Each structure stands twice: as structure tokens, then as C-alpha cells.
Structure 1
Amino acid sequence: MKTDPERFIRANTSLMAPPHVSEIRLHLASEVHDLWLKTEDELEEIGLPPPFWAFAWAGGQGLARYVLDHPEVTAGKRVVDFASGSGLVAIAARLAGADRVVAADIDPWAETAIRLNAEANGVVIDFIGRDVVGETLEADVVLAGDVFYDRGFADALIPWFDRLAATGIDVLVGDPGRSYLPKDRLTALASYQVPVTRALEDSEIKKTTVWRFTPQVDV
């Protein structure tokens, strides 16, 4: 029997506000390992990626906080929330007045999670479920929370973000000090002390910085 993602999400998460973004409510899980195993059992597939859509990661919380506190960043603009996960940052952009928000994520259950979370916050979020890395985007702003955790992924993102920024797209990144963050290409905009769960991180508070990606200038 094919698993119903909406049924599974509703049964294994609770509607709650992330600690650093109290204006927004999301369907979130309390324990990553148990939910990961349940997801594999439901889909009868071993080796699935973690259910990123079920947690409010530090980088996303910081970026969502920045967008809500600085609505001029997204108000009236076309926004893409890359690697959207729960849709937290996408929802923040919509609440801050973005004209259109597209959440992009390759997790097959992220679309359902984002739809449920958008409905819980009274907003509409469009969704792209394919890998958009390297594509030209119809956007004024690209938001990316917690994306520099893997070397291979970072190596693909940096030249792509560079091309996007070079065309005039405002690329903002939320990051709590991941290993492959390209600080030499970034300008800090704001920093926050973000409460997180020890199920996800190595501490209960993560210093999270919002950065603007700066395109490479040929000399």
C-alpha cells in the first residue's frame, strides 16, 4: 500500500513554533532518529536521507528571523527558497510581503510538508521538486538556509550562487558555522543565538549568521 505523506506527517509531528521564529507554526518532530526509522519503514526503503522537512534547522531559523525583521529584503519580490525543507524560510518571505515564493527541495515528502505548513500559516507557497542547482532562476531573491554542510554540495553551490548573484539576484544564506561555508565570498548581515534541539546539533544554542553572497569579480 502506498504511504500517504500527509497522514504520516500529521501522525508523527506536532504543530509548534520554532523557538527563534515564534510568528510561524510548523509540523515538527521531536526526535530525528525515530522519525528517520519510521520514514524508512513506511517507504520500505533503507538508506533514505534524514527527514530535513521535519525540523527547524538553525540556519533556516536565523534566515527566517532576518527576513521577518527586514521585510524590505523580500517585499514585492520573486523569491526562491532553495533546499526549503519544512518551508520555514519560504513562509517567512511570504509573510514579509514577497510577491511570489517558490520552495525548491528534492525530498519527495517536502512538498506535502511545505503545503501543510503554508496552510497552517495562511500563505500560498509554490513548489519545485527537481534539482535546480545550475539552473537560471526567475527570481529577485534566493534564500538558502543550512546548505554548506557537505563538501561536494558546497562545491556545486558556490559557482551556481556566483552566477545568480552576478545577474543581480540577491543571494542570502543562513548558516550556523557549517564546515564548508565559503566565508571569503560572503558579507555578514546579522547574527543570532538560535535555540536548537540536541537531537540535531552539538549544543542547545547555535550562533547563526545571515550572509549575502558576493559574486566573484574578475580583475
Structure 2
Amino acid sequence: AKPSVPVEIIGITGTPDAGDDFKVVENETKAKEIASYRLSKSKIRVTEPLTKENLEKQLSDKSNEKIKELGLVLKSDVQGSLEAIINGIEKFKNDEIKIKIIHKGVGEINQSDVALAVASESSVLTVGFNVKPNNLARDLAKRDKIEIKFFTVIYELLDYIKDSMSGLLVPDKKEVLNGKAKIKEIFKMSKIGKIAGCEVIEGKIEKTAKIRLLRDNKVIYDGKLNSLK
């Protein structure tokens, strides 16, 4: 066939990836040799992540860093959809959270995909686009409480990943000092207990505000006011 001429290829047992080389060899023996070599490399890539040691090589330890990681196991029905999803994910820019694609591929969700999510110590999303898990994967996910999400629309899948990233963000907490008070006298009430008679020396004190009680510059109470009069 000449360049740009479509052809039909018969005998392929799997789905090739976009960009794979198509080689023409002189005889069938050479073709089988190349196919056997590629198959062995493919099996190594699939089986390695199933061990804890190999998975730890893929998932870097972020315990001492501020950047969090959200793992992703992604399966799609066709290579084109898979690439479109990955391109969409790469556009997510966040200084606090990083998407780490643990595994991606074309075809049904299998037990190897679920095992990756089980073995990971970080948060991992297991997502399928126009694909479903096989029976073994479904049973494994049910046993280990791994949630598998399914989508048929790419933007809905991307929204789910984006929302999951937002869920990992820790909201910034800022303490605002509204006022200060000094305890002038303690009153004992038989039915209530002790009541602190205070003088506001700075700002204002509100009923809904949280308070911090200090004695000799040490915190002895941190919480809500029971009452204010």
C-alpha cells in the first residue's frame, strides 16, 4: 500500500496503541520472534505493578512535601478517547495537588487495575470510560471496598477528577482576634457552677465567638462560650 492508503490488517489479537511501529520483516520466523519479544515486555509492564515493592517505586513518598498526589487508574474503550482524557487532565494546574496516572490502558477494567488501587497508600481514583470491570475485578473491588466510577461523557469524567482534587485541598484557616477580656472575679453558683466575671480590655466579646483561656501564658481551655451576659 502507498502512503495514506487505508488497509485492513487481520490476525491482531489485541488493540495497538496510537504511534506503535508497524514493521515489515522478511519471513514469518522473524515476525514471531519480534512478537514474542514485545509480548514478554508487555507482560512485565502489567505484572510488575501488582507487587507492593514495584508499586512503591511508582508512587513517590510525599509525606514530607506540601504537594499532595491523587493517583489515577484509567481505562477506556479506545485509544483516541484515552488520549483525549489524558490531555484534559494535563490542563489541570494546581500548586497543591498533582495527578499521578498509576496506570492507563484500553480495554475492560481487570483485577490488575483494582489491585493497583488496593496496594496504593495514597488516594486513588479508579475510572472507566465506556468500559466495565470483569467479574474478577468487580469481586475484588467489592471485597476491598474500592469504588469504580464509570462515564460515557469525557467532560463529566474530567469534572469528577477535578472535584476529587478539590476534595483533597485543606481550607486555609485564619485566626482573627476580636477582643480580649480579663477575669476580675470568680462567682460560685450552686446550680450552675463557677462564673467568671470579666472586664473587656480590648475589642469586643460575642456569644458565638470561640475563646482561649490562658493562665500564666498557658492555654487551659480552647472552645466555645457556654453563655455570655
Range of TM-score over shorter length: under 0.3
TM-score, reference length from structure 2? 0.25
Structure with a larger share of its residues in strand = 2
TM-score, reference length from structure 1? 0.26
Q: State the structure with bigger RCO (CA 8 A, min sep 6), 1 or 2.
A: 1
Larger Rg: 2
